[in-house]
Amino acid sequence: MSKHTPSKQTSSKPRPVKKAPENNPPNVIQQADIVWDDNGQPISTAFDDVYFNSDSSIDESRYVFMEQNQLPRRWNSNPGHSFTIGETGFGTGLNFLVTAKAWLEHTSTETNPGILHFVSVEKSPLSKEDLQRTLKLWPELFELADELIQLYPPAVPGIHRLKLANNRIILTLMYGEANDMFSVLKGSDHPLFQRQGNPVINAWFLDGFAPSKNPEMWSETLFQTIADLSEPGTTFSTFTVARAVRHALEHTGFQFDRSPGFGLKREILHGSLIKHTTSPSALDNQQTPRRDSSRSPITTEPAAFNSPYQPPWYLPSTIDPTPETAIVIGGGIAGCSTARALAERGIAVTLIERHRTMGQEGSGNPQGILYPKLSTSTSQLTRFGLAALLNASRYHRDFLDLKPDSKRLDSKLGTKAVIGNRCGVLLLPSSENDKKQFEKIAERFPKELVQLHEGEQLNQTAGLSLTNQFGLFFPKLGWIKPPIACQILTEHPLITIQTAEVASINSEPSSLSKSGSLSQHCGWQALDNTGNTIAMAQVMVVACGFDSSNFNQTSHLPLKKIRGQISRLPATKQSSALKTVLCGEGYVAPAAGGEHTLGATYNIGETSTTVRPEDHKINMQQLATTDATMADTFGQVDVSQLQGRAAFRCTTPDYLPIAGPAPKLESYLNDYELLRKNARSHIPIAGATWPGLYLNIGHGSRGLSYAPLCAELVASQICGEVPPLELDLRQAVHPGRFIIRDLKRNKR
């Protein structure tokens, strides 16, 4: 997508140069403002530049980026391995589509089961409509282009993870400033750890608008970040030979050569990273603490000063190679999505579940809701929730978008059932303040994500006239049958299910890979209550909800167990008209199999799963508070005759999930002891974790939304890939955060 080559025919219409509005709200990304020339080519009005050469755009993309990075040859010389490409400027997605098509043509699941990771940034993304119109110019890319359009995220800042071509291609599309977004992929923002824990990009496509029109995209600061995400031998190519670009490349450790350009362009650049030109140095020349090999407490007193950087407690002290085997404990949505994420990366997974079928506890309700909770704030909780919701709407597309006559066997009932429905979710206000917030949210977020519906429009959306005539509608959401979704997620040739109760877990000093070489990390065993081994693997992911704290290595986790009961209401003629999920004080889903699911109670400190009539009454009261007219469609309900289900949510003190490497409690307490006295102490020590042990738990009532994104995060950490979340959000869900908070509050 060479944005530098002028088209041979341009529109006779003037192309005003526009600047993006300054000080956009934090939740807002300014979409690209474009005009179309006489050839149907999009032109950026902000940069007064074209997105691609209209005559031979595909050939130019192949020549400038694929050939100069020698991609097909490199892919085939290292079969079976994944490959990661970074791009500065997604634009129309042309480079991505051309490269993705080549990956599918030059590799196969038999000879190269690896994944193509394509990481691209875009400050001003095209609208979905403009993208559709542009991609029609390249019919040979239709199949991948159509899938990209279906998954294309709305203009919401942050990282969006898209999976295409049966998960053989992962597109990490980042909306924001280039340096900001690539920086948050790094393992740490601490200057002493600027390259530790970083994912490695194998090749770079440097393809922003021309340096004279968009200098920020070609700054030395960005090139330093690019170098930090590279290793010696990482290649790059670009259409420009501008002096400032060559200077920045040299200063950050890249060497380059010139080659003949494409078309009217005389020359282009390509090259590789020779060495890193910066090295970590102690802050302010102060002495830094060190650990001895036995991981004893700090043996050298650190300098007594306030550090501008927090200790890198979130950064594992070692990075392991991609494992060949894994154990996942727990067959709910968290465990099943984690097992699937690992299996899709070529890892053989043993999933251990104590029930004979998947999704029988917290994930066992007949209808699970993709529940929205948006806010105009930019807290980590709201940002994570939004990222998870957007990811879930794509992740669950196979369940949400099935045709009405497509059903799967419900192993519990022995009958066929609809898996889910992207019917939308209508959020109703509980107060006048809610209405004001709803208006702000509707103004702030893209309409493809959320819309404000009122009056007759709201009634048409709901399918019946409601008491409440004001609400937020989320068209991309809906409901899913979690047990069947869990079952389908585990249907992969690399996933083996084992029925057992795990009483304890244990790490072994070493384990052998399939090739016979000694693994660099410990192996893990899952043991039953007699001490017998259930399974062994190189890594383990604990994803069994509240019971995850039953193990010695994880007993310090502050998990809370909260009972919830749902009610199953027989559908009536009136209630069957409901077309969308209604949410407010409670929720009610459209009828499926002649029943509505209604819920749910929130019972703290209770341990019984016995279904109780009094809780059915609470659910009916919540429905009446949500919308009285909807409650009236069921007539007089005898709660003593209702069917239902009770299970336990697993929640955390900050309502964020726990996802990532499992910390070693005693090591954290020793290494970060100074935080008891000074929360800003200078402690440049990476977090001590149990090698190969990870967690995916604490999703509360939002498992369908939270768990898949956390599964992707854990899988990316295990495999050393580009993460699906920004650095601060990875810290926000890190399992060690509670230990650090307690130390700062002197509670441990």
DSSP code for 76? H
> Per CATH, is 425-475+562-651 categorized as 3.30.9.10?
yes
Instruction: Note if the bond before 624 is cis, omega within 30 degrees.
Output: no
Instruction: Using the predicted structure, report yes or no on whether residue 573 has a pLDDT greater than 80.
Output: yes
Residue scoring higher pLDDT (700 or 302):
700
% of the chain residues with pLDDT over 70: 87
3-state secondary structure of 279: coil
User: For position 317, what pLDDT does the model report?
Assistant: 63
Average pLDDT of span 338-365: 96
Which option is the CATH number for 323-421+479-559+653-748: 2.40.50.430, 3.30.230.30, 3.40.50.2300, 3.50.50.60? 3.50.50.60
Instruction: Using the predicted structure, report yes or no on whether residue 492 has a pLDDT greater than 70.
Output: yes
Least confident of 45-54, 620-629, 685-694: 45-54
Q: How far apart are CA 441 and CA 27, in angstroms?
A: 10
Least confident of 101-110, 265-274, 547-556: 101-110
Instruction: Using the predicted structure, report yes or no on whether residue 310 has a pLDDT greater than 90.
Output: yes
Strands 504-508 and 368-369: unpaired
* Cα 370 to the center of its chain, rounded Å: 15
Average pLDDT of span 697-711: 97
DSSP code for 292? -
CATH 3.50.50.60 domain locations along the chain: 323-421+479-559+653-748
User: For position 316, what pLDDT does the model report?
Assistant: 77
* Cα 405 to the center of its chain, rounded Å: 31
Given pLDDT bands bounded at 50, 70 and 90, which one contains residue 37?
Answer: confident
| pLDDT tens column, 52-63 | 766 688 999 999
Residue 747: how many other CB atoms lie within 10 Å: 10
pTM for the model: 0.91
Strands (E) across 364-501 are located at 368-369, 407-410, 415-418, 420-421, 425-427, 451-454, 470-474, 479-480, 495-499
Give the amino acid at 729.
L
Instruction: Using the predicted structure, report yes or no on whether residue 112 has a pLDDT greater than 90.
Output: no
| CA dihedral over 559, 565, 571, 576, signed as positive or negative | negative
Strands 348-353 and 495-499: parallel
Residue (of 101, 114, 102) closest to 147 by Cα position? 101
| pLDDT tens column, 452-471 | 999 999 999 999 999 999 99
Give the amino acid at 111.
T
Q: How far are the Cα atoms of 408, 544, 549, 649, 658 from residue 559, in angstroms, in the given order?
A: 34, 12, 7, 10, 10
User: For position 114, what pLDDT does the model report?
Assistant: 87
**Dmax over Cα atoms in the chain, in whole Å?**
82
Least confident of 109-118, 430-439, 686-695, 705-714: 109-118
Domain 34-273: CATH superfamily is: Vaccinia Virus protein VP39 (3.40.50.150)
| pLDDT tens column, 136-171 | 999 999 999 999 999 999 999 999 999 999 999 999
Instruction: Using the predicted structure, report yes or no on whether residue 3 has a pLDDT greater than 60.
Output: no
User: For position 172, what pLDDT does the model report?
Assistant: 98
List of residues 6+ apart from 667 with CB closer than 8 A: 295, 688
Q: At what angle do helices 703-719 and 380-395 cross, to 10 degrees?
A: 90
Q: How far apart are CA 333 and CA 362, in angstroms?
A: 9
Q: How far are the Cα atoms of 40, 360, 522, 543, 553 from residue 548, in angstroms, in the given order?
A: 57, 16, 20, 7, 10
CATH 3.30.9.10 domain locations along the chain: 425-475+562-651
Mean pLDDT of the chain: 88
User: For position 33, what pLDDT does the model report?
Assistant: 86
Beta bridge partners of 369: 479
List of residues 6+ apart from 27 with CB closer than 8 A: 156, 157, 376, 378, 386, 444, 445
Q: How far apart are CA 486 and CA 672, in angstroms?
A: 39
3-state secondary structure of 607: coil
Instruction: Using the predicted structure, report yes or no on whether residue 517 has a pLDDT greater than 60.
Output: no
CATH 3.40.50.150 domain locations along the chain: 34-273
Given pLDDT bands bounded at 50, 70 and 90, which one contains residue 15?
Answer: very low
